[in-house]
Structure 1
């Protein structure tokens, strides 16, 4: 890496892994036009140094769950400790400290019917030093998820993408089996874990693990993502945008956000704001330009609140080893 950024080959490797997180090194090497050894060496260096990680991400709906976006206000000096505690929980999928140091934003994957003592209804509102909480239920995702982020997934040509992309299956319904939670947990820590490791942690044979892995992917209950710091891609300034959009323009605004290279994630939600987005920009001037020009030109956008992130403690559901 030069100047703290990923080089061209690392970016191409990250894009390839975004398309298929479990593609073999030989398959990726053939597409990138380099040797198997080069791909393996680059991946292991990035992985061991904590720069890049492939993670298996469970999808909420096929597993009978929903996603909530929680916005917490804390008393001064309490946010860091509360955020660290949230990051250690199994049901949090993303935890970030926002500018000012008194606000936390986190994603939670929860059962359709939350238990009375669960995170949403019980523990958070009663947590000492939490002064406010707003919960937004995610209704529709426009950007992010299996599609990835254009800011990260734009290094390969169209033919290279076609050679690596997995065609989505249709009509496959996820049916749970007892060993699936352990398998999903192992893949969340290392999406490229070998079959022997996955068989050991889930207590099943390698052939069964291979079958379950295919079933999870084909049904949409699991996808693979690449965890990498946006700053290494040239986007050191990240922020969450809370947008209030006219209901008649909600669909068109969401679809437009999905085409913006700055947008890593966008979804329609319940709550005071009905559209939320995470963006990555190169500096303050680039963020201003995005707010004034790209967002400013979208019909139906009535209000935008911008909250820069100062630190992300957890991405994609597990803490890095």
Structure 2
């Protein structure tokens, strides 16, 4: 079963505050606490939702970058697996367009980022082209479904 509008609203409530109780979420979305708990457990078991702490790297003094990679001569999956093995890599996504992979990378400082990109990433066989964009400041970090933004704004 795919996620329905109630599931999406539950997920949005968890995105606002992952510690919010099922009862409180139920009041916002129009379901009972038990129904929210059941849906949450189903979504978690299906791998659709995971509640975790999301740090703001720039406020922690760390460096965050987005890396786009074009792969040639090997499978995209093989490069993705190698990249995923590094703790600096927080997200790997297959892409369509000019690049085959997009990464979110978090490093301790500029030197660490430079070393990681030049001495680790560039040495992976099959990487033909790489572009790195460094994040200077996070201005917006919202993963809410557009249809629910108005309701979320009213709650905050």
Shorter-chain TM-score range: 0.7 to 0.9
What is the SS of the residue equivalent to 1:253?
helix
Give 1:246 deviation, angstroms: 0.9
CA contact (8 A) 1:249 1:299 kept: no
Instruction: Report the Cα distance in structure 1 between the residues aligned to 2:84 and 2:139, rounded to whole angstroms.
Output: 25
CA contact (8 A) 2:67 2:103 kept: yes
Instruction: Report the Cα distance in structure 2 between the residues aligned to 1:284 and 1:176, rounded to whole angstroms.
Output: 40
Give 1:296 deviation, angstroms: 2.3
What is the SS of the residue equivalent to 1:227?
coil
Deviation string 1:44-84 (CA, Å, 9 cap, x unpaired) is xxxxxxxxxxxxxxxxxxxxxxxxxxxxxxxxxxxxxxxxx
Alignment of 1:154-173 (within 5 A): none
Mean Cα deviation higher: 225-234 or 277-286: 225-234
Runs of 4+ in 1 over 6 A off after TM superposition: none
What is the SS of the residue equivalent to 1:303?
strand
Instruction: Report the Cα distance in structure 2 between the residues aligned to 1:219 and 1:180, rounded to whole angstroms.
Output: 12
Instruction: Report the Cα distance in structure 2 between the residues aligned to 1:284 and 1:197, rounded to whole angstroms.
Output: 42
Q: Which position in structure 1 is the counterpart of 2:32?
A: 205
Give 1:245 deviation, angstroms: 1.0
Give 1:177 deviation, angstroms: 5.2
Give 1:315 deviation, angstroms: 3.0
Instruction: Report the Cα distance in structure 2 between the residues aligned to 1:296 and 1:179, rounded to whole angstroms.
Output: 44
C-alpha RMSD of matched pairs (Å): 2.4
User: Number of aligned pairs?
Assistant: 147
Instruction: Report the Cα distance in structure 2 between the residues aligned to 1:287 and 1:196, rounded to whole angstroms.
Output: 43
Distance verdict in 2 for CA 1:268–1:195, change over 3 Å? closer
Instruction: Report the Cα distance in structure 2 between the residues aligned to 1:220 and 1:183, rounded to whole angstroms.
Output: 15
What is the SS of the residue equivalent to 2:136?
strand
Instruction: Report the Cα distance in structure 2 between the residues aligned to 1:296 and 1:176, rounded to whole angstroms.
Output: 39
Deviation string 1:68-102 (CA, Å, 9 cap, x unpaired) is xxxxxxxxxxxxxxxxxxxxxxxxxxxxxxxxxxx
TM norm structure 2: 0.80
CA contact (8 A) 1:227 1:315 kept: no
Distance verdict in 2 for CA 1:202–1:247, change over 3 Å? farther
Q: Does 1:245 align with 2:87?
A: no
Q: Which position in structure 2 is the counterpart of 1:182?
A: 9
Mean Cα deviation higher: 301-310 or 240-249: 240-249
Distance verdict in 2 for CA 1:300–1:209, change over 3 Å? same
Instruction: Report the Cα distance in structure 2 between the residues aligned to 1:264 and 1:205, rounded to whole angstroms.
Output: 35
Give ranges in structure 1 of 5+ residues lacking alignment: 1-173
TM norm structure 1: 0.42
Give 1:233 deviation, angstroms: 5.2
Q: Which position in structure 2 is the counterpart of 1:43?
A: none
CA contact (8 A) 2:67 2:131 kept: yes
Instruction: Report the Cα distance in structure 2 between the residues aligned to 1:222 and 1:231, rounded to whole angstroms.
Output: 25
